[in-house]
Structure 1
Amino acid sequence: MAQHLMRKGFIGFAIATSLLMMACTSEQVSSVPAPETSPTEQPAADAPAAEEEKTGTFVSAEAPTAGTVKLVTQEGQTTIELGEEFKTSEQGPDLVVVLHKSADVVGETTPPTYPLKEGDYVYVADLEAFSGAQSYPVPQEIDASEYQSVTIWCRKFNATFGSAALQ
Protein backbone atom coordinates (compact mmCIF):
# COMPACT_ATOMS: atom_id res chain seq x y z
CA MET A 1 0.00 0.00 0.00
CA ALA A 2 2.80 2.42 0.78
CA GLN A 3 4.29 1.67 -2.58
CA HIS A 4 0.92 2.39 -4.22
CA LEU A 5 0.67 5.76 -2.42
CA MET A 6 4.22 6.60 -3.42
CA ARG A 7 3.43 5.86 -7.06
CA LYS A 8 0.33 8.12 -6.88
CA GLY A 9 2.41 10.85 -5.26
CA PHE A 10 5.03 10.58 -7.97
CA ILE A 11 2.40 10.78 -10.72
CA GLY A 12 0.78 13.80 -9.02
CA PHE A 13 4.19 15.47 -8.67
CA ALA A 14 4.96 14.82 -12.38
CA ILE A 15 1.62 16.29 -13.47
CA ALA A 16 2.06 19.37 -11.27
CA THR A 17 5.61 19.92 -12.55
CA SER A 18 4.49 19.56 -16.17
CA LEU A 19 1.70 22.09 -15.68
CA LEU A 20 4.08 24.51 -13.97
CA MET A 21 6.62 24.21 -16.80
CA MET A 22 3.96 24.78 -19.44
CA ALA A 23 2.70 27.87 -17.61
CA CYS A 24 6.19 29.35 -17.42
CA THR A 25 7.08 28.76 -21.07
CA SER A 26 3.78 29.61 -22.77
CA GLU A 27 3.44 32.88 -24.71
CA GLN A 28 2.05 35.83 -22.86
CA VAL A 29 -1.27 37.11 -24.21
CA SER A 30 -1.58 40.84 -24.02
CA SER A 31 -4.86 42.31 -22.87
CA VAL A 32 -4.08 45.59 -24.66
CA PRO A 33 -5.78 45.66 -28.08
CA ALA A 34 -3.64 46.20 -31.14
CA PRO A 35 -3.93 49.68 -32.62
CA GLU A 36 -6.52 49.88 -35.37
CA THR A 37 -5.35 50.78 -38.83
CA SER A 38 -7.62 52.06 -41.53
CA PRO A 39 -7.19 50.69 -45.03
CA THR A 40 -5.73 53.06 -47.57
CA GLU A 41 -8.09 53.71 -50.44
CA GLN A 42 -6.57 52.75 -53.76
CA PRO A 43 -8.15 53.53 -57.11
CA ALA A 44 -9.25 50.43 -58.98
CA ALA A 45 -6.49 49.34 -61.33
CA ASP A 46 -8.93 48.03 -63.93
CA ALA A 47 -11.04 51.21 -64.13
CA PRO A 48 -9.20 53.92 -66.06
CA ALA A 49 -10.18 57.45 -65.13
CA ALA A 50 -12.45 59.23 -67.57
CA GLU A 51 -10.64 61.81 -69.67
CA GLU A 52 -13.90 63.68 -70.12
CA GLU A 53 -17.43 63.19 -68.87
CA LYS A 54 -20.67 65.05 -69.58
CA THR A 55 -24.05 64.22 -68.07
CA GLY A 56 -27.67 65.00 -68.74
CA THR A 57 -31.25 64.15 -67.75
CA PHE A 58 -33.84 63.19 -70.33
CA VAL A 59 -36.84 65.45 -71.01
CA SER A 60 -39.91 63.91 -72.66
CA ALA A 61 -41.07 65.04 -76.09
CA GLU A 62 -43.34 62.83 -78.27
CA ALA A 63 -43.36 60.03 -75.67
CA PRO A 64 -42.56 59.68 -71.97
CA THR A 65 -38.78 59.42 -71.59
CA ALA A 66 -36.84 59.71 -68.33
CA GLY A 67 -33.48 58.92 -66.77
CA THR A 68 -29.89 60.02 -67.03
CA VAL A 69 -27.17 59.77 -69.64
CA LYS A 70 -23.39 60.15 -69.56
CA LEU A 71 -21.07 60.86 -72.44
CA VAL A 72 -17.74 59.39 -71.34
CA THR A 73 -14.40 59.48 -73.15
CA GLN A 74 -11.70 57.03 -72.01
CA GLU A 75 -8.51 56.28 -73.87
CA GLY A 76 -9.82 58.00 -77.00
CA GLN A 77 -13.15 56.09 -77.13
CA THR A 78 -16.36 58.02 -76.48
CA THR A 79 -19.34 56.09 -75.13
CA ILE A 80 -22.97 57.04 -74.46
CA GLU A 81 -24.10 55.42 -71.20
CA LEU A 82 -27.80 55.38 -70.34
CA GLY A 83 -28.41 55.06 -66.57
CA GLU A 84 -30.16 52.17 -64.85
CA GLU A 85 -33.25 54.39 -64.39
CA PHE A 86 -33.54 55.16 -68.12
CA LYS A 87 -37.00 54.47 -69.55
CA THR A 88 -38.84 55.41 -72.73
CA SER A 89 -42.12 54.40 -74.37
CA GLU A 90 -42.34 50.97 -75.97
CA GLN A 91 -44.69 52.34 -78.66
CA GLY A 92 -42.07 53.46 -81.13
CA PRO A 93 -40.72 51.41 -83.97
CA ASP A 94 -37.17 52.02 -85.14
CA LEU A 95 -35.94 53.89 -82.06
CA VAL A 96 -32.35 55.08 -82.30
CA VAL A 97 -29.80 56.98 -80.22
CA VAL A 98 -28.50 60.16 -81.83
CA LEU A 99 -26.22 63.02 -80.86
CA HIS A 100 -27.78 66.42 -81.59
CA LYS A 101 -26.14 69.83 -82.07
CA SER A 102 -28.74 71.67 -79.96
CA ALA A 103 -28.77 71.65 -76.17
CA ASP A 104 -32.56 72.21 -76.26
CA VAL A 105 -33.92 69.77 -78.83
CA VAL A 106 -37.43 69.75 -77.33
CA GLY A 107 -37.61 73.55 -77.10
CA GLU A 108 -36.32 74.10 -80.63
CA THR A 109 -38.54 71.57 -82.42
CA THR A 110 -42.28 71.54 -83.05
CA PRO A 111 -44.85 69.45 -81.17
CA PRO A 112 -46.41 66.99 -81.36
CA THR A 113 -43.61 64.92 -82.96
CA TYR A 114 -40.63 67.24 -82.41
CA PRO A 115 -39.06 66.31 -85.79
CA LEU A 116 -35.31 66.57 -86.31
CA LYS A 117 -33.70 68.32 -89.28
CA GLU A 118 -31.10 66.49 -91.30
CA GLY A 119 -27.65 67.88 -90.55
CA ASP A 120 -28.53 68.74 -86.91
CA TYR A 121 -27.90 65.24 -85.60
CA VAL A 122 -25.78 62.15 -86.16
CA TYR A 123 -26.91 58.53 -85.78
CA VAL A 124 -25.02 56.53 -83.13
CA ALA A 125 -26.89 53.22 -82.74
CA ASP A 126 -30.25 51.47 -82.63
CA LEU A 127 -31.80 51.60 -79.14
CA GLU A 128 -31.23 48.16 -77.58
CA ALA A 129 -33.90 48.28 -74.85
CA PHE A 130 -36.74 50.55 -73.73
CA SER A 131 -35.36 50.73 -70.19
CA GLY A 132 -32.31 50.11 -68.03
CA ALA A 133 -28.57 50.69 -68.26
CA GLN A 134 -27.16 50.58 -71.77
CA SER A 135 -23.89 51.54 -73.40
CA TYR A 136 -23.28 52.72 -76.96
CA PRO A 137 -19.77 53.34 -78.34
CA VAL A 138 -19.70 56.44 -80.52
CA PRO A 139 -18.11 55.63 -83.90
CA GLN A 140 -14.56 57.02 -84.18
CA GLU A 141 -15.46 59.21 -87.19
CA ILE A 142 -17.92 61.22 -85.04
CA ASP A 143 -16.51 64.15 -83.07
CA ALA A 144 -18.79 64.04 -80.01
CA SER A 145 -17.58 67.48 -78.87
CA GLU A 146 -19.62 69.01 -81.74
CA TYR A 147 -22.90 67.82 -80.16
CA GLN A 148 -24.74 69.14 -77.12
CA SER A 149 -27.38 66.49 -76.41
CA VAL A 150 -28.27 62.81 -76.60
CA THR A 151 -31.67 62.13 -78.15
CA ILE A 152 -33.93 59.08 -78.42
CA TRP A 153 -35.52 59.37 -81.85
CA CYS A 154 -38.03 57.37 -83.91
CA ARG A 155 -36.34 57.35 -87.30
CA LYS A 156 -39.35 55.88 -89.16
CA PHE A 157 -41.71 58.74 -88.22
CA ASN A 158 -39.13 61.47 -87.46
CA ALA A 159 -40.42 61.78 -83.90
CA THR A 160 -38.27 62.72 -80.92
CA PHE A 161 -39.19 60.63 -77.87
CA GLY A 162 -36.88 62.49 -75.47
CA SER A 163 -33.63 64.39 -75.25
CA ALA A 164 -30.96 65.16 -72.64
CA ALA A 165 -28.75 68.26 -72.78
CA LEU A 166 -25.14 67.43 -71.90
CA GLN A 167 -23.27 69.51 -69.32
Structure 2
Amino acid sequence: MPSTRRRTLAVATVAVAAVVAAVALPLFQPWRLFTGKVVDEALPGADPISMTTSSVPPPTISGDRRPTPSATRPKTPRRLTSGTFISHEHKTTGTAAILELPDGSRVLRLEALDTSDGPDLEVWLSDAKVLDGKRGWHVFDDGRYRSLGQLKGNQGNQNYEIPKDVDLKALTSVSIWCNRFNVSFGAAELT
Protein backbone atom coordinates (compact mmCIF):
# COMPACT_ATOMS: atom_id res chain seq x y z
CA MET A 1 0.00 0.00 0.00
CA PRO A 2 2.74 2.55 0.74
CA SER A 3 3.91 2.44 -2.89
CA THR A 4 0.33 3.09 -4.10
CA ARG A 5 0.13 6.15 -1.86
CA ARG A 6 3.45 7.44 -3.15
CA ARG A 7 2.38 6.90 -6.72
CA THR A 8 -0.94 8.70 -6.08
CA LEU A 9 0.90 11.55 -4.36
CA ALA A 10 3.37 11.79 -7.25
CA VAL A 11 0.57 11.85 -9.85
CA ALA A 12 -1.33 14.48 -7.84
CA THR A 13 1.83 16.59 -7.49
CA VAL A 14 2.51 16.43 -11.23
CA ALA A 15 -1.13 17.31 -12.00
CA VAL A 16 -1.07 20.32 -9.65
CA ALA A 17 2.26 21.46 -11.09
CA ALA A 18 0.86 21.21 -14.63
CA VAL A 19 -2.21 23.29 -13.69
CA VAL A 20 -0.06 25.91 -11.94
CA ALA A 21 2.27 26.08 -14.96
CA ALA A 22 -0.70 26.33 -17.36
CA VAL A 23 -1.99 29.33 -15.42
CA ALA A 24 1.25 31.00 -14.32
CA LEU A 25 3.25 30.87 -17.57
CA PRO A 26 0.72 32.78 -19.72
CA LEU A 27 0.06 35.23 -16.88
CA PHE A 28 3.64 36.07 -15.92
CA GLN A 29 5.37 35.31 -19.26
CA PRO A 30 8.81 34.91 -17.63
CA TRP A 31 10.53 34.43 -20.99
CA ARG A 32 10.01 38.15 -21.61
CA LEU A 33 12.89 38.81 -19.22
CA PHE A 34 15.11 37.49 -22.01
CA THR A 35 13.35 38.91 -25.08
CA GLY A 36 13.16 42.37 -26.55
CA LYS A 37 12.07 44.41 -29.55
CA VAL A 38 14.02 47.35 -30.93
CA VAL A 39 12.09 50.11 -32.72
CA ASP A 40 13.87 52.98 -34.48
CA GLU A 41 11.35 55.43 -35.92
CA ALA A 42 12.49 58.68 -37.52
CA LEU A 43 11.83 61.99 -35.81
CA PRO A 44 8.47 63.14 -37.22
CA GLY A 45 8.56 66.28 -39.32
CA ALA A 46 12.34 66.24 -39.69
CA ASP A 47 13.88 67.11 -43.01
CA PRO A 48 14.50 64.03 -45.12
CA ILE A 49 18.09 63.11 -45.92
CA SER A 50 19.09 64.73 -49.20
CA MET A 51 21.42 63.12 -51.64
CA THR A 52 23.62 65.05 -54.01
CA THR A 53 23.69 64.27 -57.67
CA SER A 54 26.08 65.03 -60.48
CA SER A 55 23.17 65.72 -62.84
CA VAL A 56 22.71 69.23 -64.12
CA PRO A 57 19.32 70.71 -63.18
CA PRO A 58 17.03 71.40 -66.14
CA PRO A 59 16.81 75.00 -67.32
CA THR A 60 13.94 77.12 -66.09
CA ILE A 61 11.33 78.09 -68.62
CA SER A 62 10.02 81.22 -67.01
CA GLY A 63 11.98 84.14 -65.71
CA ASP A 64 10.29 83.90 -62.30
CA ARG A 65 13.02 83.71 -59.63
CA ARG A 66 10.76 83.37 -56.56
CA PRO A 67 11.29 80.13 -54.66
CA THR A 68 8.54 77.58 -55.01
CA PRO A 69 6.83 76.42 -51.80
CA SER A 70 8.64 73.07 -52.05
CA ALA A 71 11.98 74.88 -52.19
CA THR A 72 11.44 76.70 -48.90
CA ARG A 73 12.81 74.99 -45.82
CA PRO A 74 10.00 73.29 -43.86
CA LYS A 75 9.52 74.08 -40.20
CA THR A 76 10.95 71.62 -37.72
CA PRO A 77 9.12 70.07 -34.78
CA ARG A 78 8.95 72.25 -31.68
CA ARG A 79 9.70 70.68 -28.28
CA LEU A 80 6.94 71.55 -25.80
CA THR A 81 8.07 69.48 -22.79
CA SER A 82 10.61 66.78 -22.03
CA GLY A 83 11.89 64.56 -19.26
CA THR A 84 14.20 61.68 -18.38
CA PHE A 85 12.92 58.25 -17.40
CA ILE A 86 13.47 56.86 -13.93
CA SER A 87 13.14 53.18 -13.07
CA HIS A 88 10.19 51.72 -11.24
CA GLU A 89 9.35 47.98 -11.37
CA HIS A 90 12.01 47.42 -14.07
CA LYS A 91 15.17 49.32 -14.97
CA THR A 92 14.15 51.98 -17.49
CA THR A 93 16.29 54.63 -19.17
CA GLY A 94 15.82 57.13 -21.99
CA THR A 95 14.00 60.39 -22.58
CA ALA A 96 10.48 61.47 -23.45
CA ALA A 97 9.46 64.66 -25.22
CA ILE A 98 6.22 66.12 -26.47
CA LEU A 99 6.71 67.67 -29.89
CA GLU A 100 4.43 69.94 -31.86
CA LEU A 101 4.75 69.21 -35.57
CA PRO A 102 4.57 71.88 -38.29
CA ASP A 103 0.96 70.87 -39.05
CA GLY A 104 -0.06 71.53 -35.41
CA SER A 105 -0.38 67.87 -34.41
CA ARG A 106 1.48 66.59 -31.35
CA VAL A 107 3.48 63.44 -30.69
CA LEU A 108 5.16 61.88 -27.72
CA ARG A 109 8.70 60.97 -28.74
CA LEU A 110 10.60 58.33 -26.76
CA GLU A 111 14.35 58.37 -27.43
CA ALA A 112 16.98 55.83 -26.44
CA LEU A 113 14.31 53.94 -24.49
CA ASP A 114 15.61 50.84 -22.74
CA THR A 115 13.29 48.86 -20.46
CA SER A 116 12.24 45.26 -19.93
CA ASP A 117 9.88 43.54 -22.29
CA GLY A 118 6.64 42.71 -20.56
CA PRO A 119 3.07 41.62 -21.03
CA ASP A 120 0.50 44.23 -21.99
CA LEU A 121 2.73 47.33 -21.85
CA GLU A 122 1.24 50.69 -22.82
CA VAL A 123 2.48 54.27 -23.01
CA TRP A 124 0.44 56.52 -20.70
CA LEU A 125 0.27 60.26 -20.19
CA SER A 126 -0.82 60.93 -16.60
CA ASP A 127 -1.41 63.68 -14.08
CA ALA A 128 0.51 61.71 -11.42
CA LYS A 129 3.69 63.07 -9.90
CA VAL A 130 6.72 60.92 -10.74
CA LEU A 131 7.99 59.42 -7.47
CA ASP A 132 11.23 57.49 -6.93
CA GLY A 133 11.26 53.88 -5.82
CA LYS A 134 8.37 51.61 -4.93
CA ARG A 135 6.14 54.49 -3.85
CA GLY A 136 5.93 55.54 -7.52
CA TRP A 137 5.07 52.13 -8.97
CA HIS A 138 1.28 52.29 -8.70
CA VAL A 139 0.33 56.01 -8.81
CA PHE A 140 -0.32 56.49 -12.53
CA ASP A 141 -3.83 55.04 -12.58
CA ASP A 142 -4.93 56.91 -9.42
CA GLY A 143 -5.94 60.10 -11.23
CA ARG A 144 -6.34 61.21 -14.83
CA TYR A 145 -4.45 59.34 -17.52
CA ARG A 146 -4.61 58.64 -21.25
CA SER A 147 -3.20 55.62 -23.01
CA LEU A 148 -1.39 56.42 -26.25
CA GLY A 149 -1.37 52.75 -27.22
CA GLN A 150 0.71 49.63 -26.87
CA LEU A 151 4.46 50.07 -26.40
CA LYS A 152 5.93 49.43 -29.85
CA GLY A 153 9.21 48.09 -28.55
CA ASN A 154 11.11 48.02 -25.29
CA GLN A 155 14.20 49.60 -26.87
CA GLY A 156 14.86 52.41 -29.31
CA ASN A 157 13.21 55.56 -30.62
CA GLN A 158 9.46 55.73 -31.17
CA ASN A 159 6.59 58.15 -31.73
CA TYR A 160 3.05 58.14 -30.33
CA GLU A 161 0.36 60.43 -31.72
CA ILE A 162 -1.37 62.55 -29.07
CA PRO A 163 -5.06 63.12 -29.80
CA LYS A 164 -6.17 66.75 -30.11
CA ASP A 165 -8.51 66.48 -27.08
CA VAL A 166 -5.67 65.61 -24.66
CA ASP A 167 -4.98 68.48 -22.22
CA LEU A 168 -1.19 68.60 -21.94
CA LYS A 169 -1.34 71.12 -19.10
CA ALA A 170 -3.10 68.49 -16.96
CA LEU A 171 -1.15 65.39 -18.03
CA THR A 172 2.44 66.12 -17.04
CA SER A 173 4.09 62.70 -16.84
CA VAL A 174 4.59 59.64 -19.02
CA SER A 175 4.71 56.04 -17.81
CA ILE A 176 5.53 52.72 -19.41
CA TRP A 177 2.54 51.00 -17.79
CA CYS A 178 1.92 47.27 -17.39
CA ASN A 179 -1.84 46.69 -17.49
CA ARG A 180 -1.48 43.06 -16.49
CA PHE A 181 -0.01 43.89 -13.08
CA ASN A 182 -1.03 47.58 -12.71
CA VAL A 183 2.52 48.78 -12.28
CA SER A 184 4.83 51.32 -13.89
CA PHE A 185 8.02 49.93 -15.41
CA GLY A 186 9.45 53.47 -15.56
CA ALA A 187 8.26 57.07 -15.82
CA ALA A 188 9.36 60.59 -16.74
CA GLU A 189 8.14 63.96 -15.53
CA LEU A 190 7.47 66.27 -18.49
CA THR A 191 8.67 69.82 -17.81
For 1:1-167, list aligned pairs within 5 A: 45-46=73-74, 48-74=75-101, 75-83=103-111, 85-90=112-117, 92-102=118-128, 104-107=129-132, 110=135, 113-167=137-191
Can you give the 5+ residue segments of structure 1 that lack an aligned partner in the other structure?
A: 1-43
Root-mean-square deviation over aligned CA pairs: 2.2
Q: Which amino acid aligns with 1:45?
A: R
Runs of 4+ in structure 1 displaced over 6 angstroms?
Answer: none
Alignment length, in residue pairs?
119
CA distance in 2, matches of 1:80, 1:93: 21
CA distance in 1, matches of 2:127, 2:104: 21
Can you give the 5+ residue segments of structure 2 that lack an aligned partner in the other structure?
A: 1-71
Q: Which amino acid aligns with 2:147?
A: Y
- On the 8 A contact 2:108/2:162 being kept in 1, the answer is yes
Question: Residues 145 and 51 from structure 1, CA distance in 2 versus in 1: closer, same or farther, beyond 3 angstroms?
Answer: farther
Residue 108 of structure 1 deviates from its aligned partner by 9.3
- On the 8 A contact 2:126/2:143 being kept in 1, the answer is no
Residue 166 of structure 1 deviates from its aligned partner by 0.9
- On the 8 A contact 1:62/1:114 being kept in 2, the answer is no
Look up the SS of the partner of 2:131 in the other structure: helix
CA distance in 2, matches of 1:81, 1:52: 10
- On the 8 A contact 1:153/1:161 being kept in 2, the answer is yes
Residue 109 of structure 1 deviates from its aligned partner by 6.8
Rg bigger for which structure? Answer: 1
CA distance in 1, matches of 2:134, 2:81: 23
Q: TM-score, normalised by structure 2?
A: 0.56
Q: Which amino acid aligns with 2:127?
A: K
Question: Residues 115 and 166 from structure 1, CA distance in 2 versus in 1: closer, same or farther, beyond 3 angstroms?
Answer: closer
CA distance in 1, matches of 2:171, 2:91: 23
Q: TM-score, normalised by structure 1?
A: 0.63
CA distance in 1, matches of 2:84, 2:176: 12
Deviations 1:10-55 (A, max 9, x none): xxxxxxxxxxxxxxxxxxxxxxxxxxxxxxxxxx823x23455211
Deviations 1:61-105 (A, max 9, x none): 01111001111112321100011x211111x20000000113x33
Residue 158 of structure 1 deviates from its aligned partner by 0.5
